[in-house]
Chain A
């Protein structure tokens, strides 16, 4: 082998290794904060986790030992359910409209609105729902909390659904039209189905993001130290409970706050993983 060729090969090998190392380093750097948070939560939170945490409501007096966050866990689930029932259909629906049906000015307006709504601080959305719902109902409520989270989910889901549908090659739509399948049917059963795994990723991102929101719940769900699953009454939620406990001067409550944060993260990860698992059965988006 001539000398020059050998040198070039060496240069290439070095450049190749360098690029690989750099990208691995980036990945590690990105994973570091997540891992750090999770490990720290485990260390601080696991000690306060016991059966009572999942079965009891907060203990009577401030800083009193014992008690749990059962009501907050249930409350979070209720609020997130309401939020998803509002946010997912509206978000996915508008995403479908933007990608499949809009051809002009109105589509641009919808897209712009979604982007602006995405940038609205969450506390402002809380205040807006407070003005629209809480004042009218004359009390804080689980419903108001769910509506606030639902509104926050809409723009994220809209834009991610639109992007994912746009990734579906036009030839797939043409194939469906060429078979004489009506457009609505082909959109629902073919285009959306082809993009399903991406759409679900977008939905889960939005879900995870609002799961930890505290600010919009302060003005809407308010929080509750007691059991309540009524939609028109104030309801407890994990982020709210964590917020209250973390700000308190009591060590016992601090421990519970750590545990609450750990449970919240596990809840989000578990939901995300199970939704993906359910969706991955069949040929959803796979096989390419």
Chain B
């Protein structure tokens, strides 16, 4: 089951440049929330703060409170590694591990964290590949083919399966379809629909139609600030803020 995320007063920096300014946001469990905004507005930075990936960039840091279930991920003594196990991430460009088979790619998160039960691993790999709608296409070459030998769209679904295999509560997606063709894109979108049943999904997208199609909630970011956050329908039909309206009607961005 997905869990909600409560973001309070989140600030983030790259060196001296402040990329996020006191963001407050309540992300509901088992829904998809889209993050939109022009390039450089901080949407990627924001999702990367939600699983503490932001700080892996040299000189980057973040402050604030991000409550996921019973854990403030920026709390004292919380290990980033534990946070990332519970909050999975799918990146813009498909990034399967080229030196691993399809099977090992999916199992990587568990295996490399010391999980050894083979039978259970088989089950989890199959389940994850089924959830990412890739099972039928790869079930015959699980251990024969390298993850990098798949097509771009398949690779991205492989990456989704890999993220699901560690059984996270939340799935963050940073423009997961922007490097894909239209057919692969629609497959990923269908997938997001199904994933909501079991996970909380936060998806960054450049494509406003995509946000409208997959997400119940949409947040509009501009220059590192959260301008408006509401039901997707409301954002795209009757936004409260003038800047949101200018953006969705294509006046800038």
Contact = CB atoms under 8 A, between A and B. Distances in A.
Interface of A: 103, 169, 171-172, 174-182, 185-186, 189-190, 193-194, 196, 282-288
- Among A175, A177, A181, A185, chain B packs the most CB atoms within 10 A around the CB of A175
Contacts of A175: 91, 95-97, 159, 162
A181 B113 contact: yes
Nearest to A285: B99
Interface string B148-171: 110000000001001100100000
A174 B53 contact: yes
B171 to A, nearest CB: 11
A284 B162 CA distance: 20
Contacts of B183: none
Contact of A182 (B81, B100, B145, B146): B81
B95 A179 contact: no
Nearest to B56: A177
A284 B99 CA distance: 5
A179 to B, nearest CB: 4
A194 B98 contact: yes
Contacts of B97: 172, 175-176, 190, 193-194
A180 B111 CA distance: 11
Nearest to B150: A287
Contact of B98 (A181, A185, A186, A288): A288
Interface string B106-146: 00110011000000000000000000000000000000011
A286 B101 CA distance: 11
Given A174-B56, A189-B112, A288-B148, A179 B99 contact: no
Given A172-B97, A174-B53, A283-B100, A179 B91 contact: no
A179 B85 contact: yes
Contacts of B112: 176, 179, 181, 185-186, 189-190
B101 A283 contact: yes
Contact of A174 (B58, B95, B163): B95
Contacts of B76: none
B106 to A, nearest CB: 11
A25 B130 CA distance: 54
Interchain residue pairs A-B with the least CB separation, the first 8:
A287-B146, A180-B85, A179-B109, A180-B84, A171-B95, A178-B89, A175-B95, A283-B146
A82 B82 CA distance: 41
A174 B113 CA distance: 16
- Among B91, B146, B147, chain A packs the most CB atoms within 10 A around the CB of B146
Given A171-B93, A189-B112, A287-B146, A178 B88 contact: yes
A186 B56 CA distance: 14
B33 interface: no
29 contacts: A103-B58, A171-B95, A172-B98, A175-B95, A175-B159, A178-B88, A178-B89, A179-B85, A179-B112, A180-B82, A180-B84, A180-B109, A180-B113, A182-B81, A186-B112, A190-B100, A193-B97, A193-B100, A194-B98, A196-B99, A283-B99, A285-B98, A286-B98, A286-B99, A286-B146, A287-B98, A287-B147, A287-B148, A288-B98
